[in-house]
Chain A
Amino acid sequence: MDMLDMKGRDVVSIGDFTVDEINGILDLAQDMVPIAKGERKSNLLDGKILAAFFFEPSTRTKLSFESAMLRLGGSVLGFANPKGTSATKGETLADTIRMAESYSDVIVLRHPREGAARLAAKFSEKPVINAGDGAGQHPTQTLLDLFTIRSEKGKIGGLNINLVGDLKYGRTVHSLAHALAMFGADLSFTAPPELQMPEHVIKDVRSYGIEPHIYTSLDESVHDSDVLYVTRIQKERFPDMAEYEKVAGAYRVDLELLEKAKSDVIIMHPLPRVTEIAPEVDETRNAKYFVQAFNGVPVRMALLSLVLGVSE
Chain B
Amino acid sequence: MKEFKVQPIRNGTVIDHIDSGKALDVLKILNIDETVKSTVSVIMHVQSAKNEYKDIVKVEDKELNPKQLQKIALIAPHATINIIRDYEVVKKSAVKAPERVVGIVRCANPNCITNARTELDTYEPVEPEFIVESVNPLKLRCVYCDRELDDPEKHLI
A positions within 8 Å CB-CB of B: 13, 87-94, 111-116, 118-119, 122, 133-137, 200
Contact = CB atoms under 8 A, between A and B. Distances in A.
Given A114-B111, A114-B113, A115-B113, A92 B124 contact: yes
A59 to B, nearest CB: 23
A115 B119 contact: no
Nearest to B128: A115
B126 A114 contact: no
23 contacts: A13-B146, A90-B119, A91-B118, A92-B118, A92-B125, A93-B124, A94-B124, A94-B125, A94-B126, A113-B111, A113-B112, A115-B114, A115-B143, A115-B144, A115-B145, A116-B113, A118-B113, A118-B144, A122-B126, A133-B113, A133-B145, A137-B146, A200-B148
B122 interface: yes
Interface residues of B, number: 22
Contacts of A88: 119
Contacts of B119: 87-90
A91 B107 CA distance: 22
Give the top 4 A-B pairs by smallest Cβ distance, nearest first: A115-B144, A90-B120, A114-B145, A115-B145
Nearest to B144: A115
Contacts of B111: 112-114, 134-135
Given A118-B143, A118-B144, A113 B122 contact: no
B108 to A, nearest CB: 12
B98 to A, nearest CB: 19
Decide if the interface of chain A is mainly helix, strand, loop or mixed: mixed
A119 B126 contact: yes
Interface string B94-122: 00000000000001010111101011101
A114 B144 contact: yes
Contacts of A93: 113, 116, 124
A13 B147 CA distance: 13
B26 interface: no
Interface of B: 107, 109, 111-114, 116, 118-120, 122-126, 142-148
B146 A136 contact: yes
Specify which of B107, B113, B123, B145 lies most central, judged by the most chain A CB atoms within 10 Å of its CB: B113
Nearest to B119: A90
**B123, B146, B147, B148: residue with the most chain A Cβ atoms closer than 10 Å:** B146
Contacts of B144: 114-115, 118-119
A94 B144 CA distance: 13
A284 B111 CA distance: 41
B102 to A, nearest CB: 13
B148 A115 contact: no
A13 B144 CA distance: 11
Nearest to A122: B126
A114 B122 contact: no
Contacts of A91: 118
A133 B112 CA distance: 10
A115 B122 contact: no
Given A94-B125, A118-B143, A122-B126, A113 B120 contact: no
B113 A113 contact: yes
A113 to B, nearest CB: 4
B131 to A, nearest CB: 12
